Chains A and B, each alone.
Chain A
Amino acid sequence: MEYKTVPSICPYCGCGCGILLEVVEGKIVGTLPLKTHPINKGKLCIKGWNVHEFVYSENRLTSPKIKKDGKLKEVDWDEAISYAAKKLLEIKEKYGPNSIALISSARCSNEENFLMMKLARSVLETNNIDHCARLCHSSTVVGLIKTFGSGAMSNPIPHLEGAKTILIFGSNTTEAHPIVATYIFRAKDKGANIIVIDPRKTHIARIATKHLPIKIGTDIVLVNGMINEIIKNGWEDKEFIENFTEGYEELKKIVSKYDLSYVAKVTGIDEKEIYETAYLYAHEKPSSIVYCLGITQHHYGTDNVISLANLSMLTGNVGKPFTGVNPLRGQNNVQGACDMGCLPGYLSGYQKVSDDKAREEFEKFWGKSLPKEGGLTVEEMFAEALKGNIKAMIIQGENPLISNPNINRVRKALKNLEFLVVLDIFSNEMTEMADVVFACASFLEKEGTFTNTDRRVQYFPKVIEPIPNTKPDWQVISLLAYALGSKGFSYNSPEEIFNEMSLLTPIYRGISYERLKKNPLQWPCKTRLDPGCEYLHKDGFTQGKGKFIPVEKKEPFEIPDEEFPFILTTGRTIFHYHTATMTKNSPSLNKELSSVYIEINPEDAKRLNVEEGEKVKVISRRGEIEIEVRITDNVSPGLVYIPMHFSESPVNVLTSHEPLDPQSKIPPYKYSCVNIKKIK
């Protein structure tokens, strides 16, 4: 007889909430919230309450597969591993190491991401490793490194409760990060100003004390306008600017032309509102900025992030408690995947591959020389695959056939590969395309660590044994590396991997499983006695002084015209997680929402003569889909919205893969031009 509850970390978003899995005789039967967890304190969203549902789904992969004669056949592990290794070596020999590209999973543990990075660099000898942060917060990493020196959330989530003014840019916080929204609600109950800047009337916009329904993509203009007002009226924090920043004069010059009437015209927001928002942010301190993909997912996303950093430095609202520039990371371990160096230009801990000193540490430890030049980012990988330069890819826990922009092009790119290896826990569109499929164990079936959006490294234990015939990713990668000829992957446990990683990664050096089992730790944590870093940039920035980098208004890459008169933007709902690989296989979540819809404003619906629930065709320059109509005032006339979730009506058929942001290489998900036609 057995009943126990095992603490773990929710796999469904970057909040990193504590959950308890109920286990009866080795089987998971339910989920409870973990009441004393520092972030969620016993609260969960609907996904968190139903974590246990996907584990025993009949769609779980239960055997590795190889594509023989165009069909996937179940094989045993030895055959799958040796076949994959053989083909990869062949391709490496024939076309060179840079003909292989890897995409690691932001849902897999830190240990597994570290191993993917090690596999790419020390075994396959390529820097072509990237992951989905490229598609969501690469603008954050690049933008904040340029201005602050560190690309992560500056303050911890609980600090939001103590802010007097919170600006929320492009974040549907309640739906995308429900427990972060809890802190914002508490701040509101204490009298804080909650100002939401979003073209849509989202849930949090309705709760806010002020909603600025900005014209999509014009955030730089608004922020520059606010900066200009603050400087004009002398509200800036002169002491902070003097002591901790450089580049102020240049900024002052550039923003001077963003006067209120110009900004109001471009952004569509009242002059009075802009003035008030600037006043509140500069006066009712401490003030905090929270932002998400509405800022980053444009082809000038990095500049958007930089403008927010400028605003915070101008008013001294960074490097102090309850302030900060706070990007909300999406996946449960996307921060970790970045930290582990699954980036084409960085080793773990944001050490550049071109930094000889840093690279030599790795070369010494691994006993191999590592490639010096930066590799390809995700979209570039697909571009090169189309051109025939990338011949093989290893894709772990990712579904680009739903989550990347311009899906039709992604499919062509993948078809053009000679060899595709996919690691996943469920069969989905990606596993159908693969030449080799590895059936992996879920996070509940192995131990490891995740790093959430506020840099908190958290340990999660093994709750149950892996589903029969599946293996944890770290074992799969190790076996593959061994078959490829490497001797450096003989790990007996994820802890050994973590220890190796922490020796090579200064910001994680003080962290160990022993310490994590006592409490989570926020990096940078450089020594065994370092208690971790609650908030960044205290008394100075990571690079010394923060840099003001002036940015200017950018033009959209396509504008509404007669052929494509509507602007489409995309996002996520609270009921499902991204491509819904896991949540689609959870009955409670499917009961709430099992298909997506297009949100159309009532005026537009009348003009188009469409009704609630009617199926329409949505067309863009990239492709077309059929989807159900939902009439709502969440969107203003001229704007439409489709959640990204299901393969039946995948919105990313319509979005564009270019132009990429020149600095971060992020594609412009949040903006495309579409047309809507009735289906006769």
Chain B
Amino acid sequence: MENEIKEKIKELIVNKEVDGFLGLRRYFNYVVPYLFTKENLEDLEEFFLDEVKYPLSKIILKIKKFYPDKKFGMLVRGCDERHLIELNKNNRISLKDLYLLGINCSENMVLKCECSSPYVRIANISFWEKTRGKEFENFYKNLSFWIEKFSRCIKCYGCRNICPLCFCNNCTLEEEFLVRKGLLPLDYPIFHLIRAYHLAGRCIDCGLCEETCPAEIPLRKLYKEINKKFYRIFGYKPGENIEEKHPLEFLEEIKEKNGI
């Protein structure tokens, strides 16, 4: 399967359908993100698909900042696709300009990462068979559970740094008035409540935040619960399609559309 993917990437680059392709490659015993271009086509030998998730959507935004006029293709899993749909809604990237090479997640991957839709839907081409996602059990914990977890936070900003949907130039979490600086334990739970609010109706459940949290705070489960409630209130689920917009962020747009 990997050879097919390598061939496809080579084809895209050689036929100038893309100027560069963001994928993964081996480096020593690790698998890391890498941009394949026509100058380094021989590196495609090192292309490798591993059961590891990197914030590829965040990386492609960075690459596009350096090369705004180039066309790119990238590897996407179900979660990467949902990221890109949301980013498109927020005008950070245009899906029209991206070639999406989709990878449906294997059963092993689904076991590791409790995703409800581990497959691609809008990619230009997809590889691997679709498997059924895991339905998420209710995760209700009481206040003392959450406060204990939040109090562990070491203020690494990892959850924000790794989330492809955190792209603000001035991050609210760095407002001294809301969260004091240079303190550990930090001001909790306000730090986490602010982040939770900013992800309500936006988080597409990729799990990168929970994987990167050194304090082992179950962030993904928190945001997932909140988004379930959000759906019940507004009937809106992020990452599904480009047309539906967030009911609070795009209130004026929605009202205009509905002639209010």
Is there a direct interface between A and B, measured as CB atoms under 8 Å apart in the complex? Answer: yes
Q: Which residue numbers of A lie inside 8 Å of B, CB to CB?
A: 1-7, 18, 20, 22, 24-25, 29-30, 32-37, 40, 42-46, 48-49, 174-175, 178-179, 181-182, 185-186, 189, 203, 206-207, 459, 517-519, 573-575, 591-593
Q: Are B34 and A185 in contact (CB under 8 A)?
A: no
Q: Are A49 and B28 in contact (CB under 8 A)?
A: no
Q: Which residues of B contact A573 (CB under 8 A)?
A: 182, 184
Complex CA distance for A186 and B32, rounded to whole angstroms: 26
10 further A-B pairs in the complex, CB-CB below 8 A; given A37-B30, A175-B184, A575-B182: A1-B19, A1-B70, A3-B35, A32-B33, A32-B55, A34-B30, A175-B154, A203-B184, A518-B28, A593-B181
Q: Are A1 and B67 in contact (CB under 8 A)?
A: yes
Complex CA distance for A175 and B152, rounded to whole angstroms: 11
Q: Are B216 and A189 in contact (CB under 8 A)?
A: yes
Q: Which residues of B contact A207 (CB under 8 A)?
A: 148, 151-152
Min C-beta distance of B208 to chain A, whole Å: 9
B185 interface contact, C-beta 8 A: yes
Q: Which residues of A contact B215 (CB under 8 A)?
A: 181-182, 185
Residue of A nearest to B53 (CB): A35
Complex CA distance for A161 and B224, rounded to whole angstroms: 27
Q: Which of B22, B154, B214 contacts A3 (CB 8 A)?
A: B22
Q: Are A22 and B184 in contact (CB under 8 A)?
A: no
Q: Which residues of B contact A2 (CB under 8 A)?
A: 35, 37, 39-40
Q: Which residues of B contact A175 (CB under 8 A)?
A: 154, 184
Complex CA distance for A575 and B50, rounded to whole angstroms: 33
Known: A44-B158, A207-B152, A573-B182. A3 touches B20 (CB 8 A): yes
Residue of A nearest to B33 (CB): A5
Among B20, B33, B174, find the residue whose CB has the most chain A CB atoms closer than 10 A: B33
Complex CA distance for A1 and B39, rounded to whole angstroms: 8
Q: Which residues of A contact B22 (CB under 8 A)?
A: 3
Complex CA distance for A90 and B116, rounded to whole angstroms: 74
Min C-beta distance of B176 to chain A, whole Å: 10
Q: Which of B37, B161, B216 contacts A182 (CB 8 A)?
A: B216
Residue of B nearest to A207 (CB): B152
Residue of B nearest to A185 (CB): B216
Min C-beta distance of B221 to chain A, whole Å: 14
Q: Which of B34, B54, B157, B212 contacts A46 (CB 8 A)?
A: B157
Q: Which residues of A contact B67 (CB under 8 A)?
A: 1
B211 interface contact, C-beta 8 A: yes
Interface residues on chain B, number (Cβ under 8 Å): 47
B226 interface contact, C-beta 8 A: no
B62 interface contact, C-beta 8 A: yes
B1 interface contact, C-beta 8 A: no
Residue of B nearest to A172 (CB): B184
Instruction: Give per-residue flags for B35-67: 1 if the beta carbon is below 8 A from chain A beta carbons, else 0.
Output: 101011000000000101111000100110011
Q: Are B214 and A29 in contact (CB under 8 A)?
A: no
Min C-beta distance of B164 to chain A, whole Å: 12
Q: Which residues of A contact B258 (CB under 8 A)?
A: none
Q: Which of A3, A6, A42 contacts B211 (CB 8 A)?
A: A42
Complex CA distance for A44 and B184, rounded to whole angstroms: 16
**Which residues 1-49 in B have Cβ within 8 Å of A in the complex?**
19-20, 22, 27-35, 37, 39-40
Min C-beta distance of A169 to chain B, whole Å: 20
Min C-beta distance of B95 to chain A, whole Å: 20
6 contacts between A and B (CB under 8 A): A1-B35, A1-B67, A3-B35, A43-B156, A181-B215, A592-B155
Among B34, B62, B156, find the residue whose CB has the most chain A CB atoms closer than 10 A: B156
B199 interface contact, C-beta 8 A: no
Min C-beta distance of A518 to chain B, whole Å: 5
Known: A2-B37, A22-B62, A181-B214. A45 touches B31 (CB 8 A): no
Min C-beta distance of B179 to chain A, whole Å: 10
Q: Which of B148, B162, B182, B212 contacts A592 (CB 8 A)?
A: B182
B213 interface contact, C-beta 8 A: yes
Q: Are A33 and B30 in contact (CB under 8 A)?
A: no
Q: Are A178 and B174 in contact (CB under 8 A)?
A: no
Residue of A nearest to B30 (CB): A7
Q: Are B32 and A20 in contact (CB under 8 A)?
A: yes
Residue of B nearest to A4 (CB): B34
Q: Which of A18, A33, A181 contacts B158 (CB 8 A)?
A: A33
Q: Which residues of A contact B156 (CB under 8 A)?
A: 43-46, 48-49, 178
Among B19, B37, B155, B182, find the residue whose CB has the most chain A CB atoms closer than 10 A: B182
Complex CA distance for A175 and B181, rounded to whole angstroms: 15
Q: Which residues of B contact A186 (CB under 8 A)?
A: 216
Q: Are A206 and B212 in contact (CB under 8 A)?
A: no
Q: Which residues of B contact A42 (CB under 8 A)?
A: 211-212
Q: Which residues of A contact B27 (CB under 8 A)?
A: 5-7
Complex CA distance for A459 and B37, rounded to whole angstroms: 27
Q: Which residues of B contact A40 (CB under 8 A)?
A: 214
Complex CA distance for A338 and B50, rounded to whole angstroms: 37
Min C-beta distance of B134 to chain A, whole Å: 21
